[in-house]
């Protein structure tokens, strides 16, 4: 007899329809008898290696990346262990399918491809009831929440509730790339409406059909969300994702000293850019404090990178004002200069005391940067004239078109290498294939935030950190860069190969955890071996015996 103190063991269809319990054809004969699964599965018993091979063969036969994304998504909601076993068997192949660039198309078509609910959709119409609604989530212990309001999805703009694809994809990479256990991860959309008319008129749209909330109403909703998360999940870290500039910077400013939180678009992007610069300087053989950068894009991502680069320069002895003057920004209205009256507060520290410049190529020729960094979400703005000017100014120009997805990149790898006669030190936000320039092969690096945020997550999880500080992104950047080998650099690669992303992330997580302990930010006691702590906490996609 089942009592309140002896919960009934799930059986039959309950097991097969629980992605954490389901093993599919890998259930042993003993388990099938114990759970009442006999007859519900074909009689052959497979191990997980066979299951992985079966799924990989299925995916390989498809000729459309969105279809591959959907196969993987269906697997995730059916058999979580197998999903991660497939991803981690060849992460370099599957990462572009579960995240950029494919996730961009998935978000655009989210209402049309919606299959199964994942995560929490919190509508602003439920203000005052968020504690009740978040209480519907089945896990009592949540350590990571990736949350978006869907307003600035990648470089694609306002996709409303379709932005849920981003938190789902990001959290999958927390696990696949750094071993954060998936049971502690919660994807969230704050549905405050959308200003995308096409979505509002689409009968298959899955979100609120109203204009976006703004001002006090919006911020009160965010405040309630943060307050409820802190009450229900006091050990959680909130990662803000794909918020528009007008909200991203104020939200981060509002909470970063109060709770464990970070904004990946601002801080994660900055960290991966800094890592790329550290590695690039091993090719250019220049000092960090000698660099001068020009950003195409003056929003939260551009200013976030510029600020972290400036802080890293000050760590090498430079005055902060001089450091910021070496990081110039250029937006739709031209170079950010002190005489402009349209600058937001977060842009003003980077406004230069010089005459306005309206064309980006003229800014390149005037400022003479050692590197250009694109975060504009507008494709093809690193023109041939721009690349040739950079190659004329620098022996090895740093060219980082970081906007993604691929369709939004400021230039392609081939354009950067060909127009610079192979001189460019290149990295992009989305993947590009190797390029042959006069018989020499260049392997373009992908400056993907995946080198930063999963490792940050693992370090926070293992230490139960109370805060994520700006200095932690400098620590992470150095830890990423130090893993780039001389062989990688000789091919032009300035990030560790994505095939090694798990090992790279665990290394970064160890460095971050050490910093967290050093700074007194951990909730757990410091072990003798920090690396062993990280490795012991890392999730592995293996089945456990469920017959006991």
The token duo for 239 is: 């990662």
Q: What are phi and psi of 426, to 5 degrees?
A: -115, 140
Q: What is the pLDDT of residues 340-353, one digit of tens each?
A: 999 999 999 999 99
Q: Give pLDDT, residue 1.
A: 40
Q: Give pLDDT, residue 492.
A: 86
End of a domain among 34, 64, 90?
Answer: 90
DSSP H or E stretch at residue 400: strand 398-401
Residues 209, 325 within the same domain: no
Which residue from 293, 169, 302 is spatially nearest to 245, judged by alpha carbons? 302
In this model, does residue 6 exceed pLDDT 70? no
Residue 391 lies in a domain: yes
In this model, does residue 289 exceed pLDDT 50? yes
Q: What is the pLDDT of residues 418-434, one digit of tens each?
A: 999 999 999 999 889 99
Percent of the chain, pLDDT > 70?
Answer: 98
Residues 44, 116 within the same domain: no
Is residue 109 flagged as an active site residue?
no
Token pair 């062989």: residue: 487
> Taking residues 232-257, what's their average pLDDT?
96
Q: CATH no. for residue 57?
A: 1.20.1370.30
Cα(23)–Cα(233) distance, integer angstroms: 29
In this model, does residue 4 exceed pLDDT 60? no
Q: Which of 23, 69, 94, 170 is catalytic?
A: 170
- The number of distinct structural domains making up the chain is 4
Residue 2 lies in a domain: no
End of a domain among 199, 227, 259?
Answer: 259
Cα(465)–Cα(238) distance, integer angstroms: 12
Cα(123)–Cα(430) distance, integer angstroms: 31
Residues 440, 456 within the same domain: no
Residues 68, 161 within the same domain: no
Residues 67, 42 within the same domain: yes
Cα(493)–Cα(470) distance, integer angstroms: 26
Cα(483)–Cα(455) distance, integer angstroms: 14
> Taking residues 387-402, what's their average pLDDT?
97
> Taking residues 214-225, what's their average pLDDT?
98
Q: Give pLDDT, residue 547.
A: 54
DSSP state of 341: S
The token duo for 512 is: 């971050």
End of a domain among 28, 57, 90?
Answer: 90
Q: What is the pLDDT of residues 33-70, one digit of tens each?
A: 999 999 999 999 999 999 999 999 999 999 999 999 99
Is residue 218 flagged as an active site residue?
no
Residue 544 lies in a domain: no
> Taking residues 259-266, what's their average pLDDT?
96
Token pair 């849920």: residue: 164
Q: Which of 99, 174, 255, 515 is catalytic?
A: 99
In this model, does residue 5 exceed pLDDT 60? no
3-state secondary structure of 285: coil
Residues 283, 396 within the same domain: yes
Q: Regarding beta strands 327-331 and 334-335, do their DSSP bridges make them parallel or antiparallel, or are they unpaired?
A: antiparallel
Residues 158, 288 within the same domain: no
CA neighbours within 13 Å on the CB side: how many for 448? Answer: 27
In this model, does residue 371 exceed pLDDT 50? yes
Using CA atoms, how far residue 209 sits from 8, 187, 189, in Å, is: 42, 21, 15
Q: CATH no. for residue 293?
A: 3.40.50.720
Residues 253, 296 within the same domain: no
Q: For residue 87, count CB atoms less than 10 angstroms from its CB and return exposed for 0-12, middle for 13-18, buried for 19 or more.
A: buried
pLDDT band at 255 (very low <50, low <70, confident <90, very high): very high
The token duo for 468 is: 């994520």
Q: Give pLDDT, residue 404.
A: 84
Residues 349, 314 within the same domain: yes
- Report angle CA 316, 318, 324 to the nearest 5 degrees: 115
Which contacts qualify for 59-65: CB closer than 8 Å, 24 or more apart?
A: 59/86, 59/97, 65/96, 65/97, 65/102, 65/105
Q: Give pLDDT, residue 548.
A: 52
Cα(459)–Cα(188) distance, integer angstroms: 22
Q: Give pLDDT, residue 12.
A: 85
Q: For the whole model, what pTM was predicted?
A: 0.92
CA neighbours within 13 Å on the CB side: how many for 530? Answer: 21
Residue 545 lies in a domain: no
Give the CA-trace dihedral at 10, 14, 15, 17, to 10 degrees: -160
Using CA atoms, how far residue 348 sits from 168, 340, 341, 374, in Å, is: 35, 10, 10, 19
pLDDT band at 2 (very low <50, low <70, confident <90, very high): very low
Cα Rg, the chain, nearest whole Å: 24
Residues 237, 331 within the same domain: no
Q: CATH no. for residue 528?
A: 3.40.50.10380
Q: Give pLDDT, residue 7.
A: 53
Q: What is the pLDDT of residues 151-181, one digit of tens each?
A: 999 889 999 999 999 999 999 999 999 999 9
User: What range defines the domain where residue 169 resides?
Assistant: 97-259
Residue 4 lies in a domain: no
Other residues' Cβ atoms within 10 Å of the Cβ of residue 377? 24
Q: Give pLDDT, residue 100.
A: 86
Residue 469 lies in a domain: yes
Q: Give pLDDT, residue 124.
A: 98
Cα(496)–Cα(286) distance, integer angstroms: 21
Q: What is the mean pLDDT of the chain?
A: 95
In this model, does residue 81 exceed pLDDT 50? yes
Q: What is the pLDDT of residues 303-334, one digit of tens each?
A: 999 999 999 999 999 999 999 999 999 999 99
Cα(76)–Cα(71) distance, integer angstroms: 9
Sequence-ordered alpha helix ranges (H) in 80-152: 80-89, 91-98, 102-108, 110-113, 130-134
Residues 387, 468 within the same domain: no
Residues 140, 241 within the same domain: yes
Residue 543 lies in a domain: no
Cβ(180)–Cβ(457) under 8 Å? yes
Residue 412 lies in a domain: yes
Q: What is the pLDDT of residues 7-21, one digit of tens each?
A: 567 778 899 999 999
Q: What is the pLDDT of residues 110-123, one digit of tens each?
A: 999 999 889 999 99
């Amino acid at each position: 007899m089942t009592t309140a103190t002896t919960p009934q063991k799930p059986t039959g269809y309950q097991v097969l329809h629980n992605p954490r319990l389901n093993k599919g054809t890998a259930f042993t004969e003993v388990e099938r008898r114990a759970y009442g699964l006999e007859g519900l599965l074909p009689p052959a018993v497979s191990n997980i290696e066979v299951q992985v091979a079966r799924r990989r063969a299925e995916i390989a036969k498809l000729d459309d990346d969105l279809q591959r994304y959907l196969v993987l998504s269906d697997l995730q909601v059916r058999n979580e262990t197998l999903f991660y076993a497939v991803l981690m068997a060849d992460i370099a192949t599957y990462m572009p399918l579960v995240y950029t660039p494919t996730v961009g198309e998935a978000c655009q078509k989210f209402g049309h491809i919606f299959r199964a609910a994942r995560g929490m959709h919190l509508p602003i119409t439920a203000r005052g009831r968020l504690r009740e609604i978040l209480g519907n989530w089945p896990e009592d212990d949540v350590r990571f929440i990736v949350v978006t309001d869907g307003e600035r999805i990648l470089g694609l703009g306002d996709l409303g509730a379709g932005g849920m694809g981003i938190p789902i994809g990001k959290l999958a990479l927390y696990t696949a790339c750094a071993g954060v256990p998936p049971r502690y991860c919660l994807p969230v959309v704050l549905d405050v409406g959308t200003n995308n008319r096409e979505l509002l008129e689409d009968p298959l749209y899955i979100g609120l059909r109203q204009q976006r909330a703004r001002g006090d109403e919006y911020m009160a909703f965010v405040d309630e969300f943060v307050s409820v998360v802190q009450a229900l999940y006091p050990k959680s870290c909130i990662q803000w994702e794909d918020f528009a500039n007008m909200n991203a910077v104020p939200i981060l400013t509002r909470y970063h000293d109060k709770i464990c939180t970070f904004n990946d678009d601002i801080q994660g992007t900055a960290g991966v850019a800094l890592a790329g610069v550290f590695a690039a300087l091993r090719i250019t053989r220049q000092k960090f404090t000698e660099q001068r950068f020009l950003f195409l894009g003056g929003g939260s991502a551009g200013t976030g990178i510029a600020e972290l680069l400036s802080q890293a320069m000050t760590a090498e002895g430079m005055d902060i004002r001089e450091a910021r003057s070496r990081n110039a920004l250029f937006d739709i209205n031209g170079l950010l200069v002190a005489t402009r009256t349209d600058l937001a507060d977060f842009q003003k520290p980077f406004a230069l005391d010089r005459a306005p410049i309206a064309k980006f190529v003229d800014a390149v020729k005037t400022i003479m940067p050692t590197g250009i960094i694109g975060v504009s979400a507008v494709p093809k703005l690193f023109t041939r004239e721009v690349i040739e000017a950079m190659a004329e100014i620098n022996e090895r120009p740093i060219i980082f078109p970081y906007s993604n997805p691929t369709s939004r990149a400021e230039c392609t790898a081939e354009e950067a290498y060909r127009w610079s006669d192979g001189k460019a030190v290149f990295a992009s936000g989305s993947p590009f294939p190797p390029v042959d320039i006069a018989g020499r092969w260049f392997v373009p690096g992908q400056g993907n935030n995946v080198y930063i945020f999963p490792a940050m997550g693992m370090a926070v999880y293992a230490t139960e950190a109370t805060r994520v500080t700006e200095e932690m992104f400098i620590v992470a950047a150095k830890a990423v860069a130090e893993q780039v080998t001389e062989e990688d650099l000789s091919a032009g690669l300035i990030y560790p190969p994505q095939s090694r992303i798990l090992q790279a992330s665990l290394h970064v997580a160890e460095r971050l955890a050490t910093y967290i302990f050093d700074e007194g930010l951990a909730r757990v006691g410091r072990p003798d071996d920090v690396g062993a702590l990280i490795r012991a906490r890392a999730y592995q996609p293996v089945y456990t015996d469920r017959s006991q």
